[in-house]
Structure 1
Amino acid sequence: MGKTFEGNLVGNNKTFGIVVSRFNSFITKRLLEGAQDCFVRHGVNANNIDVFWVPGACELPITAMRLAKNAKHDGIICLGSVIRGETPHFDYVSNESAKGISEVGLKTGIPTIYGVITTETLEQAIDRAGARVGNKGAEAALTALEMVNLFDEID
């Protein structure tokens, strides 16, 4: 039987870029705080966490791609909040941002984590940004740590 590889959750000497949507900032600020806190708790130096604000979820992928191409970060997280409204705009924004963020990681090899919450209501968004369901920003940070360390093991 071959070896088993699994990324750990230690962030010493790692650098991360966090791209955050300004749209619904009352939610995304909480996601950002959760991600930053998680990184620091797992050994990432606060000075090694760069934050990039963009207007909305549609701007997350192109900014993540620019960061990945610059290769200054071990991993990238994209944080946003898309809340369903009365038009199909929700579907377009959530689908395209998900595809774009995924494409960044596939094309560049830099772990690029989808941390965009998509909810039916504002209450659901609040729950996922640190209330009853935990903080999805912190979960994205844990995923980034694990993937960065797994890729180190692979390489």
Structure 2
Amino acid sequence: MATIEGTFEKASSFKIAIVVARFNDLITTKLLSGCLDCLSRHGINISESSNQLDVAWVPGAFELPIISQELARKANYDVVITLGAVIRGDTPHFDVVVSEASKGIATVSRETGLPIIFGVLTTDTMQQALERAGIKNNLGWSYALQALEMASLMKALD
């Protein structure tokens, strides 16, 4: 029986894209900060002149799939991380945005064969979002770890 797993040993060689939703940027900038911290600690060059990392900003979570798709098709990334925050309001808009963002991101990943990490917080309140973006822990860090593991796993399958 073969056991195939991703590791973090060669993480410093990966090329990564991060797509960040500007809507709820109080939250998404914190997620991005946690994500960048994790990547940096695993050897990814996160400087402005880096050729290992690109960050693209989109208006909201609904737009994450289309830009992820373009990046997956046009560049040689090992993994794409999507970051967003959708907070429930008084209308069904929350359900539409979450559904379309998640389905779209999953579809892009399957169609391109590129791992795309779903880093979109879906919370009932701003307080819950803040807790997940740094007050209690920063899930941006976890999304980066998932990205490194998936990029490694995909390389192990080659």
TM-score (norm 2): 0.94
State the identity as a percent: 50
Code of the residue aligned with 2:95 in structure 1: it is: D
Aligned ranges for residues 3-152 of structure 1 at < 5 Å? 3-10=2-9, 11-46=11-46, 47=50, 48-132=52-136, 134-152=137-155
Code of the residue aligned with 2:19 in structure 1: it is: V
**3-state SS of 1:44 partner:** coil
Per-residue Cα deviation, 1:91-138 (whole angstroms, up to 9, x for no partner): 000111000011111000111010000000000000000111x11111
Distance in 2 (CA, whole Å) between partners of 1:9 and 1:71 is 22
Distance in 2 (CA, whole Å) between partners of 1:114 and 1:87 is 23
Code of the residue aligned with 1:131 in structure 2: it is: I
- What is the aligned residue count? 153
Q: Which runs of 5+ in 1 are unaligned?
A: none
Distance in 1 (CA, whole Å) between partners of 2:22 and 2:12 is 29
Cα deviation for residue 71 of structure 1 reads: 3.2
Q: Which runs of 5+ in 2 are unaligned?
A: none
**3-state SS of 1:3 partner:** coil
Per-residue Cα deviation, 1:78-102 (whole angstroms, up to 9, x for no partner): 0000000010000000111000011
Distance in 1 (CA, whole Å) between partners of 2:34 and 2:156 is 26
TM-score (norm 1): 0.96
